[in-house]
Amino acid sequence: MSAQPLLQTRNVTQRFGGLTAVSDFSLEVAEGHAHGIIGPNGAGKTTAFNLITGIYKPTEGDILFRGKPITGLRPDEIARRGIGRTFQNIRLFRDLSVLDNVRIASDSRSRYSWPGAMVQLPSARREEKQTIGACEELLEQFGLAEVARERAGGLPYGSQRRLEIARAMALKPSLLLLDEPAAGMNSAETLKLVEFLGWLRDHFSVTMLLIEHHMQLVMTFCDRITVLDFGATIAEGGPEDIRTNAKVIEAYLGEEPDEG
């Protein structure tokens, strides 16, 4: 692991008025790894995601992607550099078709201009057709080809989750951030999700950073785990280290688990 980490945060701190949501957050995600972030509710996990994806600008600290600073860039610039994400409460474009949801992410690689689009330059039409083809292929891989022309908001919950991941993958990201992918799933569905995430990692060779409450998923799937509590990192290591870490047991696993 001497190689440069794909994502690195250095002493990132985020304050909202008097509240410190994330403090001194340092993280290294190695290329090819599945890295888990766990911690009790309100520990600052989603805030960390919003900092990495540029939705918040950190009060202090630096975020580096492929060794280059991305701190202060707009979210769309960060996304186009290769960081895709999903949201804790699914945020699809509900009134649009499944295909258009994926196309919007894929569109960031098109080059044609807006006047060119308005007069239908051949280049614009060609790129449009290419995008449709690529997106249909992607939906095929995610088992969503049959519903490509249906309204995204009308899909069953599980398909919406899958579509949100497919949409993020349409960016062709090298890093995928998943915010509680197993939320609302029972243990059988979670087991299938682990299988699906494994396929995703191998098939697209994408590095993953995921927030998850589901311990079984994190412990079986992640190569490395970071534990947050009250905005601070209290432990980091492989699943075995975390399982036996006294601080973690006290802060998290020692509590009555509130998920099923």
Minimum CB distance to another protein, residue 97 (Å):
9
Of the pair 178, 242, the CB lying nearest another protein is at 178
Kindly state the smallest distance separating residue 110's Cβ from another protein, in Å: 5
Say if strands 19-29 and 7-16 run parallel, antiparallel, or are unpaired. Answer: antiparallel
**Shorter beta-carbon distance to another protein: residue 112 or 204:** 112
Cα–Cα distance, 121 to 156 (Å, whole number): 38
Least spacing, CB of residue 251 vs another protein, in Å:
30
Could you give phi then psi for residue 256, rounded to 5 degrees? -65, 120
- How many residues are listed for the chain in this entry? 260
By three-state DSSP, how is residue 54 classified?
A: coil
Q: CB nearer to another protein: give 87 or 230.
A: 87
Q: Which is nearer to another protein, 4 or 108 (CB)?
A: 108
**Taking the complex as a whole, how short is the minimal distance between the CB of residue 92 and another protein, in angstroms?**
7
Angle between the N-to-C axes of helices 157-169 and 187-204, in degrees from 0 to 180, rounded to the nearest 10:
20
Residue 191 to residue 195: CA distance in whole angstroms = 7
Q: Which residues bind another protein (CB under 8 A)?
A: 53, 55, 74-76, 79-80, 84-85, 87, 91-96, 100, 103-105, 107-108, 110, 112, 114, 117-120, 124-125, 128-129, 131-132, 145, 148-149, 167-168, 170-171
Q: Which of 68, 14, 84 is nearest to 43 (CA)?
A: 14
